[in-house]
């Protein structure tokens, strides 16, 4: 089989086409195996970001309750940075409240791929995470 040679200081060095193809196939195989793990890791990071923003909304609701004696259904009423205003977001956030002043309750929800959010890969579309007044986050992790 012919070799592809490069002259270097008077010596002939190089690789055969077969050797180059084997290396390319190995690199492609490793990339194929690593890509799903990379996507899963990135999605876990995005869920962590959503959990952090939900805790921020919970804290804002608690402060609002201390000031006004009730919870609000509008994130804009909270004295916090609105996570919906972020430039690179993956979730849309909503807040809801219910009950009277004695049984007041609230929930904040992060919905994947909501209005204005960046689209998610197929298995992660329509993911939704909710935090309650007690701080319990529910959803698919």
Using DSSP bridges, classify how beta strands 105-112 and 91-98 pair: parallel, antiparallel or unpaired.
Answer: antiparallel
**Local mean pLDDT, 10-residue blocks, the chain (141 residues):** 56 81 96 89 88 91 88 86 75 82 79 66 74 84 62
State pTM to two decimals.
Answer: 0.70
pLDDT at 10: 57
Cα–Cα distance between 87 and 44 in angstroms, integer? 19
Alpha-carbon distances, residue 67 vs 71, 77, 95 (angstroms): 10, 12, 18
pLDDT at 112: 81
Q: Pick from 107, 108, 106, 111: which is nearest to 124 by CA?
A: 111
pLDDT at 28: 95
pLDDT at 136: 86
């Amino acid at each position: 089989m012919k070799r592809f040679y490069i002259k270097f200081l008077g010596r002939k060095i190089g690789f055969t086409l077969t050797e180059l193809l084997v290396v390319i196939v190995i690199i492609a195989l490793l990339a194929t195996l690593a890509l799903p793990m990379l996507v899963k890791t990135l999605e876990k990071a995005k869920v962590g970001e959503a959990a952090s923003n939900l805790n921020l909304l919970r804290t804002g609701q608690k402060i609002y309750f201390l000031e006004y004696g009730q919870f609000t259904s509008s994130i804009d009423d909270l004295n916090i940075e609105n996570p919906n205003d972020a430039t690179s977001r993956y979730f849309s956030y909503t807040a809801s409240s219910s009950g009277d002043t004695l049984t007041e309750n609230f929930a904040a929800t992060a919905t994947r791929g909501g209005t204005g959010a960046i689209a998610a890969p197929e298995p992660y579309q329509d993911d939704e995470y909710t935090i309650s007044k007690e701080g319990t986050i529910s959803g698919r992790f």
